[in-house]
Amino acid sequence: MNLRNATALITGGSSGIGRAIAQTLASSGARVAITGRDRGRLTETALALKALPIVADVANEADVERTYQELFKAFGELDILVNNAGVGVFKNLVEFDRSSFESVFATNVTGAMLMAREAAKHFIARQRGNIVNIASTAGLRGAPNGTAYYASKFALRGMTECWRAELRRYNIRVFLINPSEVLTNFFATAGLSQKENPTKLRGEEIAYMVKAALEMDDRGFTPELSIFATNPKD
Ligand SMILES: NC(=O)c1ccc[n+]([C@@H]2O[C@H](COP(=O)([O-])OP(=O)(O)OC[C@H]3O[C@@H](n4cnc5c(N)ncnc54)[C@H](OP(=O)(O)O)[C@@H]3O)[C@@H](O)[C@H]2O)c1
């Protein structure tokens, strides 16, 4: 597809990987809307990127419906949804509390489903569209403390396969992107430390692959991309 004048909606576009994707698509000529819950950070990013800010929680169904109302009022149409908003809680199985577990699934799984459902209605009517799901290499194998986060990314990967099977007949491309560790606020937000190291991936590398995947002619698509740092040092 040609990104010039395309319209893109990026959840969690105020920080990290989502912000880098928003910046890259905007630099390619797309009109970009970004969502997030923290109004201050969202507004600041939107001003810097000349993007449309929509303060919304993907886990809140009323917020999701309002997101599309605001988007269509401003842009009139949508070509690309990037389901990027995500959070992590990392604990041993025996220490996991139900509310932390459910909060991870609410954003990473239910939120992605609600956002994709509303986009898919529009894409089916137009007989075209793109859904990019930002999963993780955590969706490819398990690890200690990964009960909620890793399982949520396995679930996102599973939903991606279902949506792809359902939506291809409407010319809708559904992509899965699996970054390995990226330098962002994600770990700090989860209460973990992350060593800053120039050998690790940045949001820009993920954004580069999202752009490349989208720019392939609409007759084709790559179903799944994993992105690794070449020689990461901790
Ligand atoms: N960093 C990594 O190593 C890594 C690796 C693989 C995959 N990923 C995935 O990449 C995605 C982006 O993460 P990141 O590393 O860029 O983290 P980040 O810098 O913490 O950004 C997360 C973004 O999501 C937003 N967000 C979180 N919960 C939300 C909700 N319920 N509704 C709307 N927005 C919400 C945040 O804004 P608010 O808090 O203001 O809502 C923020 O804009 C996530 O899905 C993550 O799982 C990250």
pLDDT tens by residue, 135-174: 999 999 999 999 999 999 999 999 999 999 999 999 999 9
Domains belonging to the chain, first-starting first, are 7-227 (3.40.50.720)
Q: How confident is the model at residue 5, as a pLDDT?
A: 94
Q: Output the average pLDDT for the chain.
A: 98
- Kindly list the distances between the CA atom of residue 165 and the CA atoms of 148, 161, 172, in Å, as whole numbers in the listed order: 26, 6, 10
d(CA 37, CA 58): 9
Nearest CA residue ID for atom 46, ligand 1: 86
Select from 13, 24, 12, 76 the least CA-distant residue to 213.
Answer: 24
Q: How confident is the model at residue 69, as a pLDDT?
A: 98
Whether 170 is catalytic is: no
Q: How confident is the model at residue 157, as a pLDDT?
A: 98
Return the best residue to mutate from 60, 70, 184 for the ligand 1 pocket (most ligand atoms within 8 A of CB).
Answer: 184
Q: Annotate 96-124 with DSSP letters as a single string.
A: --HHHHHHHHIIIIIIHHHHHHHHHHHHH
Q: How confident is the model at residue 8, as a pLDDT?
A: 99
* 31 within 8 A of 5, measured Cβ to Cβ: yes
Question: Residue 219 C-alpha to ligand 1 middle, in angstroms?
Answer: 30
Q: For 192-210, what is the mean pLDDT?
A: 97
Q: How confident is the model at residue 47, as a pLDDT?
A: 98
Could you give the 3-state DSSP secondary structure of residue 204? helix
* 160 within 8 A of 83, measured Cβ to Cβ: no
Q: How confident is the model at residue 120, as a pLDDT?
A: 99
Element (H, E) at 27: helix 16-27
- Give residues with Cβ within 8 angstroms of 207, minimum separation 6: 17, 20, 21, 23, 24, 25
Q: How confident is the model at residue 184, as a pLDDT?
A: 98
Element (H, E) at 26: helix 16-27
- β-sheet bridge partners, residue 10: 34, 82
Q: Over the stretch 67-88, which tens digit does the pLDDT of each residue have?
A: 999 999 999 999 999 999 999 9
Using 50, 70 and 90 to split pLDDT, how confident is the model at 183? Answer: very high
Question: Which residue ranges have their beta carbon within 6 Å of ligand 1?
Answer: 11-12, 14-18, 35-38, 41, 57-59, 84-87, 107, 111, 134, 136, 179, 181-182, 184-186, 189
Could you give the 3-state DSSP secondary structure of residue 9? strand
Q: How confident is the model at residue 188, as a pLDDT?
A: 96
